[in-house]
């Protein structure tokens, strides 16, 4: 099952029909994804399931219905065990950005972290999960699939946010501060912190 966020409202791609309680069930094959997304953006639908019988191709079926943007991002630790955060659009987030043609996803993630935060001397330590969310740019809805990587750095300087990307501040947060920041973050970012056993 895949969890896709529209703002912070989820829809689940599933190959199982479950009894409806607090959500609606739609057939992926026949659903107009854009109309569904608009309803979710407008709070007319809070949570729903999109059903398709074959789990192996369920994500492929969704990608046929909406343009995809691939991105790479970093879950970066410093020597003190603090995590690198950026603050943009009124929320705490992790650095990430779009993949360039021919680029390996790990290189995308390393490049984007350095560009968005000024932090260098980065080393990928492991692959983390992918997250999925739908956003609107230039009047079109797109599915952003972000591949996350755990990273470490010996960087000792002062991080600097990339102004042209709308990054207002960059901060190293300790575990207590992370919990506070996640109260004003995105659901897919919280999923990563669950994976990293922060929550």
* Half-sphere exposure (Cβ direction) of 133: Cα atoms closer than 13 Å: 18
CB-based contact 105:71 (threshold 8 Å): no
The arrangement of secondary structure in 71-195, i.e. its CATH architecture, is: Alpha-Beta Complex (3.90)
For range 186-191, the mean pLDDT: 94
pTM for this prediction: 0.92
Among 183, 161, 184, 187, which residue's Cα sits nearest to residue 172? 161
Among 45, 46, 55, which residue's Cα sits nearest to residue 16? 55
The pLDDT value recorded for residue 20 is 64
Tell me the pLDDT of the chain averaged across its residues. 94
Domain range list for the chain: 2-63, 71-195
Strand partners, 93: 86
The pLDDT value recorded for residue 38 is 94
Task: Give pLDDT tens digits for 98-112.
Answer: 999 999 999 999 999
User: Residue 198: pLDDT above 90?
Assistant: no
């Amino acid at each position: 099952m895949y969890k896709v966020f529209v703002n912070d409202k989820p829809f689940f791609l599933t190959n199982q029909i479950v009894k409806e309680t607090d959500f609606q069930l739609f057939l992926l094959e026949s659903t107009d994804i854009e109309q569904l997304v608009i309803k979710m953006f407008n709070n007319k639908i809070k949570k729903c399931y999109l059903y398709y019988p074959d789990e192996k191709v369920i994500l492929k079926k969704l990608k046929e219905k909406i343009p995809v943007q691939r991105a790479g991002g970093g879950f970066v630790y410093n020597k003190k065990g603090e995590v690198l955060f950026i603050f943009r659009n009124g929320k705490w987030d992790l650095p990430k950005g779009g993949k360039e043609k021919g680029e390996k996803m790990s290189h995308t993630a390393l490049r984007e972290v350095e560009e968005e935060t000024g932090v260098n001397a980065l080393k990928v330590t492991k692959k983390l999960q992918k997250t999925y969310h739908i956003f609107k740019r230039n009047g079109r809805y797109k599915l952003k699939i972000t591949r996350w990587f755990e990273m470490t750095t010996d960087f000792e300087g002062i991080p600097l946010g990339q102004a042209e990307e709308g990054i207002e501040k960059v901060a190293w947060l300790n575990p207590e501060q992370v919990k506070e920041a996640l109260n004003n973050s995105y659901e897919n970012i919280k999923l990563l912190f669950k994976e990293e056993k922060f929550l």
